[in-house]
């Protein structure tokens, strides 16, 4: 059965946000690949490439809590506008830095962290906005469309990034990203204002955030799932090595290493009907995580580009299964 596009027909605001984010996320996915590759080209250090991701993680962790706590109590349209403007400015700085005779590595760290942090701050407001502009009976279709958008951009964006980086350089890739922000900026400035929170709702405090964390801590099945996934992604995902590995196959291939897990995740999603029959979810998550590790080990031994990409896609599929 084909994907339900009713939300796109029903809601003008959702239509604006969907296509604006689709175009903008394509450019953002390109920069996601270009920044670590540029760090590697400038320093030759896989350690510094890995530290870029660590720096991003810190701001994501901090600002995701803030964005989540206040998403229901702030002007969502204003939050979307401010974060989109912020991300646009960060991309402009990346472009300026790439055009310097000697691009500054520290600026790459700062920009990558800010970009990731702003995205984390924006996401809760974006998701809360969806609930305001689309009726509840269409939310499952919204989730499917948003998942499709994410898969398309995370597959095509990195793949094109590697090719453009190899042929034209980082400045052209950042220029494309900057241009794509025109779409998302146009969308967030054209959408209607979402209904404001009622006065009876309790405003978030540090105490309410702490209570949310305490609830998650008490739910061991939720905590275990997150810990398994975070452990695999943080300690086992070899993204820091992608630029160095790609150098052996040609710089233009680097984007394919980032795209391959997304391809596997998409295939796993399209064939996930069997997941409804699973009753021992904890066991399924553990097995999928273990198989993810096996796929990563096989990727480490692969000395052929196509074989390496196959094992990365396999790992992406198992990662998606653990989340389904």
pLDDT tens for each residue of 34-71: 999 999 999 999 999 999 988 998 888 888 777 666 66
CA pair distance 247, 245, nearest whole angstrom = 5
Average pLDDT value for residue range 153-171: 93
For residue 155, what are the contacts with CB-CB under 8 A and spacing of at least 6?
A: 259, 262, 263, 266
Complete domains list, the chain, with CATH: 7-201 (1.20.1250.20), 219-324 (no CATH)
Contact predicate 296/311, CB 8 Å = yes
pLDDT tens for each residue of 178-207: 999 999 999 999 988 665 555 445 555 556
Contact predicate 174/261, CB 8 Å = no
Write the CA distances from 212 to 85, 171, 232, 318, integer angstroms: 30, 42, 24, 29
Contact predicate 150/1, CB 8 Å = no
pLDDT tens for each residue of 103-142: 999 999 999 999 999 998 888 888 888 888 888 888 888 8
Least confident of 75-84, 209-218, 295-304: 209-218
């Amino acid at each position: 059965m084909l994907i339900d596009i009713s939300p796109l027909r029903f809601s003008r605001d959702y239509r604006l946000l969907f296509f604006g984010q689709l175009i903008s996320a394509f450019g953002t996915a390109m920069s996601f690949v270009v920044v670590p590759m540029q760090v590697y080209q400038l320093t030759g250090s896989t350690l510094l490439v890995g530290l870029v991701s660590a720096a991003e993680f810190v701001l994501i962790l901090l600002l995701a809590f803030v964005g989540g706590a206040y998403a229901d109590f702030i002007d969502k349209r204003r939050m979307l506008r401010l974060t989109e403007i912020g991300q646009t400015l960060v991309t402009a700085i990346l472009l300026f830095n790439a055009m310097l005779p000697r691009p500054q590595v520290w600026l790459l760290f700062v920009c990558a962290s800010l970009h990731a942090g702003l995205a984390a701050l924006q996401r809760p407001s974006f998701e809360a906005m969806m609930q305001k502009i689309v009726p509840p009976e269409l939310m499952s279709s919204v989730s499917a469309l948003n998942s499709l958008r994410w898969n398309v951009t995370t597959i095509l964006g990195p793949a094109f990034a590697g090719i453009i980086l190899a042929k034209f350089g980082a400045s052209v890739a950042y220029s494309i990203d900057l241009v794509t922000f025109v779409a998302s900026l146009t969308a967030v400035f054209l959408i209607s204002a979402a209904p404001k929170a009622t006065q009876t709702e309790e405003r978030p405090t540090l105490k309410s955030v702490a209570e949310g964390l305490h609830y998650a801590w008490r739910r061991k099945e939720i905590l275990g799932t997150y810990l398994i996934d975070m452990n695999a992604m943080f300690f086992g995902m070899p993204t820091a090595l992608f630029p160095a590995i790609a150098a052996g196959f040609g710089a233009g291939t680097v984007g394919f290493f980032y795209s391959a897990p997304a391809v596997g995740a998409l295939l796993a999603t399209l064939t996930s009907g069997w997941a409804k029959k699973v009753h021992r979810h904890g066991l399924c998550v553990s097995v999928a995580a273990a198989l993810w590790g096996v796929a990563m080990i096989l990727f480490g031994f692969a000395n052929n580009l196509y074989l390496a990409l196959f094992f990365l896609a396999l790992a992406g599929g198992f990662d998606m299964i653990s989340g389904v």
